[in-house]
Amino acid sequence: MVYLPFPYHKENKSQIKQISNYLSEKRKQHVFVIAKRTIINPRSDYKQNIPRNRTLTNVYDSILEDILIPGQIIGKRIRIRLDGTQLIKVWINDESQDILGPKVDLICNLYKALTNRKLAVEFRKE
């Protein structure tokens, strides 16, 4: 997993795939490039309105998009269980199944480690 500063990640979205492919070939491992984002707690002493892109939900959604970078998310459902745990079902376009298919378990475990939320990934046509 490689963390990049958010401004660099935002400006160079087209090069992120090239960076991850290059590092995957060099290391012979799966590589994920994720932007380093800041979460602001609503109870903090932040004097202004909290920007939408710094809320917990939005940062976790952005992390999910970064992990699934070659594929596009078609649909998403969130199920909150009685004990408070969340299960997120994500549907990704069929075209990226060749690339992301072998990585599905790794992606689910990585997202669980980063956000403490369970993830289920399925592939569908648009």
Closest C-alpha to 123, from 59, 49, 54, 68:
68
Q: Is the pLDDT of residue 96 over 90?
A: no
CATH architecture of 2-124: 2-Layer Sandwich (3.30)
Question: For residue 100, what are the CA distances in angstroms to 4, 42, 72, 73, 122?
Answer: 21, 35, 11, 12, 10
pLDDT tens column, 22-74: 998 998 999 999 999 999 988 888 888 888 989 999 999 999 999 998 888 99
Q: Residue 76's pLDDT is what?
A: 94
Render 16-45 in DSSP notation, one character per residue.
Answer: HHHHHHHHHHHHTS---EEEE-----TTS-
With cut-offs at 50, 70 and 90, classify the pLDDT of residue 86. confident
Q: Residue 39's pLDDT is what?
A: 92
Q: Residue 108's pLDDT is what?
A: 95
Torsion sign over Cα 70, 71, 73, 78: negative
Q: Residue 63's pLDDT is what?
A: 94
Q: Residue 21's pLDDT is what?
A: 86
